[in-house]
Chain A
Amino acid sequence: MGSEVFILMKSEWALMGIIFLLLFLKVTETIKDNTALFRLTNVLLLLNFVFGFFCNSKGELFSGMYITNDVLVLEKNILNFGTLLISLLSCEWTKTHKNLAEFYILLLSTLLGMFYMLSANHFLMFYLGLELSTIPLAALANFDQDKVKSSEAAVKMALSSAFASGVTLFGISMVYGSMGTLNFAEVPELLNWGPLQIMAFLFLFAGFAFKLSAVPFHLWTADVYEGSPVPVTAYLSVISKGAMVFVLLNVLYNVFRGYEGIWFQVLFITIIVTIIVGNLFALRQENIKRFLAFSSIAQVGYILLGICSGNAGGAAATLYFIIVYIFSNLGAFTVVALVSAKTGKENINDYRGFYASNPALGWVMALSLFSLAGVPPTAGFFGKMFLVTAGASTGSYILVSIAALNMVVSLYYYLRVVKAMFVEKSDAPIEKLSFGMAPKVAMAICVIGIVTIGFAGCLLEYITNLFQ
């Protein structure tokens, strides 16, 4: 093994390094000042992100339990990038919290768990990563310790995650029971359409659907998103979801490829109900975090549409969309986080007259929402187009029609927020917000991403080549 452990697992080592450094600083109480700690951590995260592009290699460790390749490296870079953005956008929120070091330690622990989950080539490794990524999340949801809703969110998160993990574990046990192995590489040859195997697949899929908050396993989402602090909500809706999508892609395409007929049927139903239910509920939300929660449920439907095509184009479209989604969703969350941290307002109606007092923030929010709605020239248009194009390759007109027509419904509720900001007047509008450098950087990155990604055709090209 030797040096391989360090080279192949370098992204995990880097994260562990940061975690232990923060832990050391916390224990020794070297840095008491939140601002200094915030700056230090962000620099570390930036270095970590940059480091992700260098010294990458392919290979496997621990007798094939852990693997890494170009696709996984890209996926980890995407997650690193998203985490950095979330860290930047949480700037104003962190100022009011005592236990900033713990926040980052927990946040990075979940990220580490996701990395292990992504690199897993064995169900046990996958499960370990899953648990490592889930348990700290519940603690994070509880980070607004003086708010009852935050605790409520944490309990809901813990219980539903435990249930989802249980279901997943049950599925894994059935895999072992019917095949006698847990290694991803050995499963495809052992698929024999036995009922126990099909049950195993369905249970595993249900576990995934829980984590992705696909309908009908979405019930925890809105409450948890509403109660958690905004940065945690952003993390849940972008990073946690993104990682789960990557793993699902791997499991469906590489492990259960032989059951494509079954998973297409399952996805078919899930996509239709997820898009429709997500949209219908998003229509009537008043709280902006709940609103983003339901809109993100609908987005998952579109992501699954890309996955269900079962070809390299679909996988590439999915990955591409996650990148676009990070920019668009985090752009919106940056504004929500600022407003929430500065004024405590989280209702859509509070955003009335927002443009008049904060024009720049208004445009960032509007652009992000348009991108989420898939309106050109924003990146979201391209992301959605490629997902729908990939979905069309299955030849299912029903799926494509439902996806295309639901874009109209979703445009309605995104426009509601835009209308509140730009058109409606309020007696008590949000005053002009002043904020530091970090959120500005986050917003600038998001806006540049939203506006330019679609015109850089090489990105999709690069991703597609990875999958071929």
Chain B
Amino acid sequence: MMTNLTLLILVPLLAAVAVAFCRNGEQAKWTAFIGSLCQLLLSGAMAFAYFAERKAGNTAQMLFTERHSWFSSLNIEYYVGVDGISVAMILLTAFVVFTGVLISWNVQTLSREFFFLLMLLGAGAYGFFISLDLFTLFFFLEVAVIPKFLLIAIWGSGKKEYSAMKLVLMLMAGSALVLIGMLSLYYYSDDGNGNRTFDMLKLAYQNIPLEVQLFAFPLMFTGFGIFTAMFPFHTWAPDGHSSAPTAASMFLAGISMKLGGYGCLRAATYLMPEAAQEYSWIIVLLATIAIIYGSFATLMQKDLKYINAYSSVSHCGFVLLGIGMLTKTAITGAVMQMVSHGVMTALFFGAIGMIYERTHTRQVEQLGGLLKTIPFLSTVYIIAGLCSLGLPGFSGFVAEMTVFMGSWQRPDTFNRICTILACASIVVTAVYILRAIGQAVMGPITNEHYSHLKDATWNERLASAALILAILAIGLAPFWLNNLITPDAQIIMENVARGGLIE
């Protein structure tokens, strides 16, 4: 039961259908809550089942696999299964969706539609993380287009229509690049019976000609890279994140950007090892630029959401840096950073959303002294901030540290310089995070109106507690996540090393 991965798609879908049939917003809210709680329990149970299975000595690369023929004339399959990396991402998704529903408790306009689309987004993300067939993967990658557009354009704030359009078109362009790359792999594949295949586990060992890899890898990596806001294709992220309603921001930064990172790792690097080595330096370079550029751009921001959006560009740069470095530790670090940043940024956007709901402004200079009036929410914001700047004890430190250690294993000058520069950016992170905390949360109350604000309600407390718990679970006891990811990072690395360029 717990090992049936299709349930991970069906439960959110059923929840979405149930929400659509609700009579009013109140019902829809509770239905979505129960649906997301089921997803959380299901993912948790699945993770425990996974650990138990591994402990029992099951060494298969993918567990709980299930495959059905979908379009047999093209050899397209519905093929799902999980390894440690996917399990980590699924847990992340469950957490973000669950807390996203809780934080959207006060959505008034068209709340049925809101929760319907939110559930649909979740279904797409789960499907993406369990797919082992490139076609299925691509299908779930694009499922999110409709909900993303409507969520931002209808419930967003600021220049929402512009942002929604920009975000969706840029992500769609990313998918188009992935599609071209995917088809070039497909036409060079052979499943052993003379048929072409989209099966990723088979594609990884195909010995695809180097020139095809050199053509397809940049397309795929850039395509997925757009999702994870890779420099210079990051421009959708600040606008999109800031205009989106809170739950959508949490989803976009927490999960959607991770779809890109996961795709870069699983679909680009794993399937095309030789090309990954060839292009490693470009990835490292772009990632370093993103990290530095992102953190300096954050310095200039005055809007809390923009601060977090630009810092997300910088933090996701670490994910790409880890993948580009191509060492086992760096890749493990990249995945940890995906999980850590997902949880942290969800908490961050959640806190900003809750503050904005009360103060109706996100401008740093207009806020101040919030700690005195809404201590709980302010503390949540501070915790998110400290996690973001990589304070030991929180998840950010563990993840970034692992990336740096992995990167340092590449001894050549270029990679060393990039690693040092990326490390140095943490100082800048500290500047903008502490400045924002100092101005917005600490200090005297600047606006009389703020002294009557009500602190967090039960749903907001529950959501914050869940996310903080996750952050601490990673930060204080990183070994479980590390043990989950490392064996599969090892498998990916072994495939990459087949290319022979790296010792």
Contacts and interface: CB of A to CB of B under 8 A. Distances in A.
B279 to A, nearest CB: 18
Contacts of A419: 153, 161, 164-165
A464 B184 CA distance: 22
B172 A411 contact: yes
Contacts of A397: 180, 184, 215
B169 A411 contact: yes
Interface string B164-196: 110011001100110110011011000000000
A326 B142 CA distance: 22
Going nearest first, the 5 A-B pairs with the smallest beta carbon separation are A464-B73, A404-B176, A392-B183, A457-B70, A457-B71
A418 B146 CA distance: 10
Given A393-B187, A407-B176, A461-B71, 8 more contacts: A313-B73, A375-B142, A376-B145, A377-B139, A381-B142, A386-B74, A388-B183, A422-B150
B149 A415 contact: yes
B49 interface: no
* Chain A: number of interface residues, binned into ranges: 35 or more
A243 interface: no
B69 interface: yes
Nearest to B171: A408
Contacts of B59: none
Contact of A423 (B146, B154, B169, B186): B154
Interface of A: 313, 316, 366, 370, 375-377, 381-382, 385-386, 388-389, 392-393, 395, 397, 400-401, 404-405, 407-408, 411-412, 415, 418-419, 422-423, 457, 460-461, 464-465
B168 A404 contact: no
B413 interface: no
20 contacts: A316-B73, A370-B146, A375-B142, A376-B139, A376-B145, A381-B142, A386-B71, A389-B183, A389-B186, A392-B183, A405-B173, A411-B145, A412-B165, A415-B168, A418-B150, A423-B154, A460-B71, A461-B71, A461-B72, A461-B73
Contact of B186 (A316, A381, A392, A457): A392
B428 interface: no
Among B140, B146, B184, residue most surrounded by chain A Cβ atoms (within 10 Å): B146
Contacts of A404: 176-177, 179-180
B397 to A, nearest CB: 38
B143 to A, nearest CB: 5
Given A375-B145, A377-B139, A401 B180 contact: yes
Contact of B142 (A376, A389, A400, A422): A376
A358 B69 CA distance: 39
A400 B180 contact: yes
Chain A binding surface SS class: helix
Contacts of A465: 73
Interface of B: 69-74, 76, 135, 139-140, 142-143, 145-146, 149-150, 153-154, 160-161, 164-165, 168-169, 172-173, 176-177, 179-180, 183-184, 186-187, 215
Contacts of A313: 73-74
Contact of B154 (A377, A381, A388, A422): A422
A408 B74 contact: no
Contacts of B142: 375-376, 381
Contact of B69 (A377, A422, A457, A464): A457
A4 B434 CA distance: 88
B221 to A, nearest CB: 16
Contacts of B71: 382, 386, 457, 460-461
A460 B71 CA distance: 7
B215 to A, nearest CB: 8
B172 A407 contact: yes
A408 B165 contact: no
Contacts of B184: 392, 397
Contacts of B139: 376-377, 381
B85 to A, nearest CB: 23
Contact of A405 (B74, B153, B176, B187): B176
A372 to B, nearest CB: 13
B153 A423 contact: yes
A408 B172 contact: yes
A178 B247 CA distance: 69
B169 A412 contact: yes
A397 B146 CA distance: 28
B154 A389 contact: no
Given A381-B139, A419-B153, A375 B180 contact: no
A466 B440 CA distance: 68
B143 A376 contact: yes
Contacts of A461: 71-73
Among A376, A401, A407, residue most surrounded by chain B Cβ atoms (within 10 Å): A376
B187 A395 contact: yes
A393 B186 CA distance: 10
B161 A423 contact: yes
Nearest to A391: B183
B381 to A, nearest CB: 30
Contacts of B70: 457
Nearest to A406: B176
Contacts of A316: 73
B169 A408 contact: yes
Nearest to A411: B172
Contacts of B186: 389, 392
Contacts of A386: 71, 74
A457 B168 contact: no
Contacts of B169: 408, 411-412
B172 A422 contact: no
B138 to A, nearest CB: 8
A395 B215 CA distance: 13
Contact of B165 (A366, A389, A415, A464): A415
Contacts of A405: 173, 176
A419 B162 CA distance: 11
Nearest to A390: B74
A408 B149 CA distance: 14
A457 B74 CA distance: 10
Contact of A418 (B76, B140, B149, B177): B149
B266 to A, nearest CB: 19
Contacts of B72: 457, 461
A392 B153 CA distance: 35
Contacts of A382: 71
A377 B183 contact: no
Among A316, A408, A419, residue most surrounded by chain B Cβ atoms (within 10 Å): A408
A366 B116 CA distance: 15
Nearest to A464: B73
A461 B72 CA distance: 7
Contacts of A464: 73
A408 B177 CA distance: 11
Among B71, B72, B160, B183, residue most surrounded by chain A Cβ atoms (within 10 Å): B71
